[in-house]
Structure 1
């Protein structure tokens, strides 16, 4: 390749500097200067890879030819064909034919685009800022043996022009991402705070309900029993016939008390596991309602829910319990199906009925839906409620495998 006059080189370097001005993102910047760089180093493919914060991954921005390097970011630096340059083990890479150069083809290397696009001659020089390698500039040609050490020197001069600008872009991008993450954390903390407040209010309402049940039902029954006992103490003789109403009332009182305790503490869940507790609650709710409802539970979890933290499994049970209660009491359904499944992305619980649908049912149990949303948010589960494709309602609770997702709640039409 013929050497370019110093004055011409200087003009092209100044052109690169002018073209960089005003570019606000990596891809537009590299495309803006590609033609000017081509006057100095002819190429069929040009890319700049930028090492991301932390140094483990890098992202490629390319022009001339679109390859998997630029289409599938980010990628591991350790799998880059030019990792020796990015790690500072060599000051440059120059090859007459990368398709036959073992430096680019090692175990785990992502070198496929070299062969797919026939990128034979290649130059790679580092982008450095204050001695730190932040990435690399790469020029490639279909022609074999095109580049020389003079091209390496010119490439390094271009890289030195690009590096400060790209460093500023990377810093701005990292600051923007940090601001987004910080805002998301604040929003999540505020959501959890509001969720905890709503749950506290719901628990207080539940405490008051239990108190009223005990006062209006159990305490009243015990008062009546006490008065009967007081009257019986004045009877000269006690007979079995006289004691039978007392025993029957006592049994009813005990049954009512057990029901209140069962609603307050899911003992079946603790004793027999999640699926059994859900099946027990579904059957009892249908029986107590007096309605003709076909209830089915499908369990494909193999007991995985029982291996969760107790607070998480209890919360899932409470959400499922409320969904069943709503379907039984308000949906006017003929069938209710509870599905429990375990997938690679987490646990999914669905309560599906063929009742009157969301719009009509929501007016009757809006508070219950809010409680389910709050419980789901506090365990980082995703809650959704939607109409089924026919009619009725589908309530879904998805607990991701890592148990640390972003809370997400949707209400809409199921497709």
Structure 2
């Protein structure tokens, strides 16, 4: 075999080997790409499942909070009114019986309000600002502390799931402030800066050390809930100087 033929065969076999390697590379890239697609689909399905589970948990918690609120109202408010009606009707004085009629009207009004609360459709019909005002009104009615709202109404347009999550996170933040902070005043401020809307929940209570492990789990849960609607949860607190929670959500 001549030298020229040897070189030709070498080039031929080299080309075949190179083509084989390229084929293997292409096949490997296709397989890898499909694996990544499968992994991405699995991740998306997992995220969707977690998102739906979070929203379901939030809705269940709102229902439980609503039922607890109704129980308190029945015991503390309506129960007291019914007791007054009973005492007034047992009296022989006409003016006391007239008072009973007024109490009956109050009971009817309270029962109607509670019946609306049982239906979670109020979440769709009530604006976030109105919900916060109602919550702060209840806090002030207890005499526990003063409460105020400042709003530019930038959260008026919300999807139902966004409103559900924000309502539950705000409820939890207010509950934490009342249970642990012992504040004289709670302020909620709603504003926007460019494409970001922010809800700030501030109290002038005891504050706490945010580096402590015991303070992290509940905050982590609230942060995860904000993530499900594309938002952010931020918390700053100083011992003796109060706590500030910021909830951010893009338009």
TM-score by length of 1: 0.43
CA distance in 2, matches of 1:219, 1:292: 24
| Residue 184 (structure 1) shift | 1.2
Per the alignment, residue 150 of structure 2 pairs with 297
CA distance in 2, matches of 1:340, 1:212: 31
Is residue 2:133 matched to residue 1:274?
Answer: no
Q: Helix, strand or coil for the counterpart of 1:357? A: coil
| Residue 177 (structure 1) shift | 1.7
Root mean square deviation, CA, Å: 5.0
Instruction: Give 2:137's match in structure 1, choosing from 279, 284, 294.
Output: 284
Per the alignment, residue 384 of structure 1 pairs with 233
Q: Which runs of 5+ in 1 are unaligned?
A: 18-157, 402-415
Per the alignment, residue 180 of structure 1 pairs with 39
Per the alignment, residue 332 of structure 1 pairs with 182
C-alpha spacing 1:204/1:259, structure 2 compared with 1 (3 Å): closer
Instruction: Give 1:209's match in structure 2, choosing from 56, 61, 68.
Output: 68
CA deviation vs aligned residue, 1:231-273 (integer Å, no higher than 9, x gap): 35xx4x62x3x246536755775786588578767979946x4
| Residue 197 (structure 1) shift | 5.3
- What are the within-5 Å matches in structure 2 for residues 132-151 of structure 1? none
Q: How many residue pairs get matched?
A: 243
8 A contact 1:338–1:352 mirrored in 2:
yes
Greater helix share, 1 or 2? 2
8 A contact 1:352–1:393 mirrored in 2:
yes
CA deviation vs aligned residue, 1:298-326 (integer Å, no higher than 9, x gap): 53xxx453223345335423432442343
8 A contact 1:383–1:395 mirrored in 2:
no
Per the alignment, residue 323 of structure 1 pairs with 173
**Bigger relative contact order, structure 1 or 2, given CA contacts below 8 A and separation 6+?**
2
Structure number with greater Rg is 1
Q: Helix, strand or coil for the counterpart of 1:326? A: helix
Per the alignment, residue 350 of structure 1 pairs with 200
| Residue 10 (structure 1) shift | 4.8
TM-score by length of 2: 0.62
- What are the within-5 Å matches in structure 2 for residues 21-170 of structure 1? 163-170=22-29
CA distance in 1, matches of 2:69, 2:147: 30
Per the alignment, residue 158 of structure 2 pairs with 308
Per the alignment, residue 64 of structure 1 pairs with none
8 A contact 1:357–1:387 mirrored in 2:
no
